[in-house]
Amino acid sequence: MTTFDPNCLFCKIIQGEVPSYTVFENSDVKAFLDLSQITKGHVLMVPKKHLVNLFDYTSEDAKRFLRYIPEIAQAIKASDPHILGMNVAVNNGEIAGQVIMHSHVHFIPRYSKSEDGLTLKGTNHAADYDEAAYQNVANRIKQQF
């Protein structure tokens, strides 16, 4: 089942070659903080099988990997009482904004009614986080599983 692309950043994260702030992992998927932290608690979920995007999925792949979306979303929401909602997004192909060509689902917590999801594209708050801050956010989410 497992495929690996040695040139893929997410495959390297799955293999442990590149460090990440993991919030959930099992034999099917790995979920970790997006370093950009569009909003606090922004998580990516990736299948451990290298699939470029949803266009590569079989129905079996979808059953195996996408079933974790509610569990991860619920854990993120439970990690912070200030979360009011969440964008759950998948970009398929460069034209749709996909940057890393390994299927992934974004979980972007929403804290304010004034946040406009469309204006968050390109938002990067990595400069606001150090290792301890990332680890604190990751630990709060991990504790919900």
42-52 core/surface letters (b: 16 or more CB in 10 A; e: else)? bbbbbbbbbbb
Token pair recorded at residue 127: 């400069």
The catalytically annotated residue of 42, 50, 104, 106 is 104
Q: Dihedral of CA 18/7/25/86: which sign?
A: positive
User: Known catalytic residue: 104?
Assistant: yes
Annotated active-site positions, please?
Answer: 104
